[in-house]
Structure 1
Amino acid sequence: MAKEVAVIFADGCEEVEGLTVVDVLRRLEIPTKMVGLTDRQVMGAHQIALTCDAVVSDDLLTADVVAFPGGRGGAERLRDHKALKSIMVQRQNDGKWNAAMCAAPIAFARYGLFKDADFTCFPGFDQVILSEEPSARFHEDITVVDDQRHLITSRGPATAMAYAFAIAEQLGVDTQEMQHAMLYDYLQAEFQQK
């Protein structure tokens, strides 16, 4: 059975973070839906209009991974959406993978998903998260995968591709060929030389 990912877009989202995940996963032939928080039409933080495939519903309970892009406005809307909170808590209780990057981990903290969890986020939001969930453990890594809590987190716009590959890898997909095709391995090698 094919794995499925849902990426949740809210007004004020960081477009590059959400669209990079959709792009990379679709290149890897992982069925990936763009899901609007309250409407199929979403306006990103940089005034890029996005048209989603669906709107948040209980269908998210069956996705193998639900991923949140950041962007402060979008992250706050995700954080404050009661129906989405209920779905995400149920997903964690069911042992499903959930992912959030940049500012969006503030939503997971509010939902209670970060109890005793390892995470990362955009600089400064770690203090917000730790004030909500003091048992969480912040790391400065590009991406953090918490196998116990089934959580994937990442730092910000420049780490979106690493985040996308981490999501694919948790689904058991070999990403090496795609990393090479997209020059991601070249980028990694360049950074390691500096």
Structure 2
Amino acid sequence: MTRAAVVFADGCEEIEGLSQVDVFRRLGVECDMVGLNKLEVNGDHNIKIICDKLVDESLLDYDMVSFPGGKPGAIHLRDSVKLNKLMNQRHAAGKWCAAMCAAPIALGKYGLLNQAEFTCYPGFEKEILAEAPEAKFSEAITVTDKKQKIVTSRGPATALAFSYALAEALGIDTDQLQEGMLYKQFKPQNS
């Protein structure tokens, strides 16, 4: 069975993280909500998020591990030594890693965006390119770098596009779900 994990930290952008969990679960993907260092996370807009578990070695077992943005949450993810080590192990094993909005700064600091094409919330590309000068920035809504196994996206308005891109990276057909959620009627043209 395909398994995914979304890692939440205080100050995360709630819509970005919960959209991923929602889409994965609608598609029948086992998706765990993982707290960076506590089970009850306070999102950037004071929405409490109750996680299923805490970051541990089991992150190595998931097919996809993804980070929502929100600047405070992204900084917590970026600065976690434990998460850095685990994500580097995942990347070395050829497993999918993903981040959206401000959270690609974590992947940049971890060294995972070297040689990768990526996108992020406007302005954060400067920090990322300082950490990963060989990375290639794109203004696309979502970017899936199949060679590096990295998926990135821009911000809150792109949360559903990102969520579908995550599932599609894992080989899951999202067409029927997009239709059922009325996404196709409002789908951005460059996603």
TM-score, scaled relative to structure 2? 0.98
Superposition map of 1:63-78 within 5 A: 63-78=62-77
Superposition map of 1:1-194 within 5 A: 2-188=1-187
Q: Percent sequence identity over matched residues?
A: 53
2: distance between equivalents of 1:6 and 1:21?
A: 9
Gaps of 5+ in 1: none
Q: Which letter does structure 2 place at the counterpart of 1:182?
A: M
After superposition, the C-alpha distances for 1:45-76 in whole angstroms (9 at most, x for unaligned) are 00000100000000000000000000000000
TM-score, scaled relative to structure 1? 0.96
Q: Which letter does structure 1 place at the counterpart of 2:79?
A: D
1: distance between equivalents of 2:113 and 2:72?
A: 21
Deviation at 1:29? 0.7
2: distance between equivalents of 1:152 and 1:168?
A: 10
2: distance between equivalents of 1:185 and 1:148?
A: 27
* Count of residue pairs the alignment pairs up: 189
Q: Which letter does structure 1 place at the counterpart of 2:21?
A: V
Aligned-residue CA RMSD (Å): 0.7
In the TM superposition, structure 1's runs of 4+ consecutive aligned residues that sit over 4 Å from their partners are none
2: distance between equivalents of 1:38 and 1:136?
A: 29
Deviation at 1:131? 1.1
2: distance between equivalents of 1:176 and 1:132?
A: 36
1: distance between equivalents of 2:157 and 2:178?
A: 15
SS in structure 2 opposite 1:6? strand
2: distance between equivalents of 1:173 and 1:149?
A: 19
Q: Which letter does structure 2 place at the counterpart of 1:132?
A: E
After superposition, the C-alpha distances for 1:90-142 in whole angstroms (9 at most, x for unaligned) are 00000000000000000000000011110000000011111111100000001
